[in-house]
Amino acid sequence: MNVRQVMVYTRFERFWHWAQVVLIVALLFTGFRIHGFYSLIDFQTAVTFHTVAALGLVMLWIFTIFWHLTTGTWRHYVPSTEGLWRVAQFYAFGIFKGEKHPYRKAYWRKHNPLQAMTYLALKLILFPVIWISGIVYFLYFLWDNIGGSGELLSFVAMIHTAVAFATLAFIIVHIYLFTTGHSFIEHVKPMITGFDDVDLTTEEEAYLEQDEPSHIR
C-alpha cells in the first residue's frame, strides 16, 4: 500500500458539509431562543429564521441524498464490524495514551467503522426524527382542532428538542475529536482542500494517475 494525498471530499461534499454546519448552528441558536433559553433576539425573528434555515436544510438534505444515491458514495456509509472494536478501544483508551489511530483511509472507504456507523445512525434515525417532528410542529394549524392537540403538540416539541440536544452533543464530540491526535488545522484541512492521506493499492494509484490526475498528489 502506498500513502498518497487523494481528493476524498469532492467540491460538493465540502459545500454540503459547511452549508450544513451553518444551517444547523442557525437552527440550534434560534431554536433555543424559541424555547426561552435566552433573549438576545426577539421571538418572532427567531421563528422566522428558524423556519427559513429548516427549509434550507431539508432542501440540502434531499439533494444530498439524491447525490449519494446517484454517485454511489452511499457505500462509504455502509457499516462494517471489521476493525470496529479496535477503533472503539482507541477512542475509549488509546487516544489518552497517545496511541496511533488504528484506521487509515482507503480509496474505497474514507470513514472508519465507528464513523460510518455514527453517520448512518444520524442519517437514518436522528435526522428523520427531527425532520418529521419539525414538520408536524410547523403544520400544527392543520390539526389543532383535533382532541388533545395541545398535549400532542407538547410531546412533538419535546421530541424535537431532545433530538436537537442530541445533535448538539454530536457536534461537541465532533469538535472535541478535532483536538486529538493531529492539530486542529490538520483535521479540518481535508474538508477545506478535499485532499487527505489515503492508503492506495498499486492498481488504485495507477488508475488515479492515469484517469484522475487532478485527484492525486
d(C-alpha 212, C-alpha 205), whole Å:
10
User: Is pLDDT of 45 > 90?
Assistant: yes
The answer to whether residues 17 and 187 touch, using CB atoms and an 8 Å cutoff, is no
Which of the two residues, 43 and 74, has the higher pLDDT score? 43
pLDDT digit string (tens) for 127-170? 999 999 999 998 988 888 888 888 898 999 999 999 999 999 99
User: What is the reported pLDDT for 161?
Assistant: 92
Average pLDDT on 113-136 reads 89
User: Is pLDDT of 181 > 70?
Assistant: no
Q: What is the mean pLDDT of the chain?
A: 87
User: Of the ranges 2-11, 41-50, 134-143, which is most confident?
Assistant: 41-50
pLDDT digit string (tens) for 190-201? 889 999 888 888
pLDDT band at 90 (very low <50, low <70, confident <90, very high): confident
User: What is the reported pLDDT for 187?
Assistant: 78
Q: Does domain 2-215 have CATH number 3.10.150.10?
A: no
Spatial CB neighbours of 5, under 8 Å, sequence gap ≥ 6: 195, 196, 197, 198, 216, 217
pLDDT digit string (tens) for 27-39? 999 999 998 888 8
pLDDT band at 182 (very low <50, low <70, confident <90, very high): low
Give residue 166's identity as a one-letter amino acid code.
A
Q: CA 131, 119, 53, 174: dihedral to nearest 10 degrees?
A: 130
Extended beta strands in 173-215, E state? 195-200
User: What is the reported pLDDT for 143?
Assistant: 85
pLDDT band at 52 (very low <50, low <70, confident <90, very high): very high
Give per-residue burial for 122-159: e unless 16+ CB within 10 Å, then b. Answer: ebeebbeebbebbebeeeeeeeeeeeeeeeeeeebbeb
d(C-alpha 161, C-alpha 159), whole Å:
5
User: What is the reported pLDDT for 115?
Assistant: 85
The answer to whether residues 135 and 51 touch, using CB atoms and an 8 Å cutoff, is no
User: What is the reported pLDDT for 193?
Assistant: 92
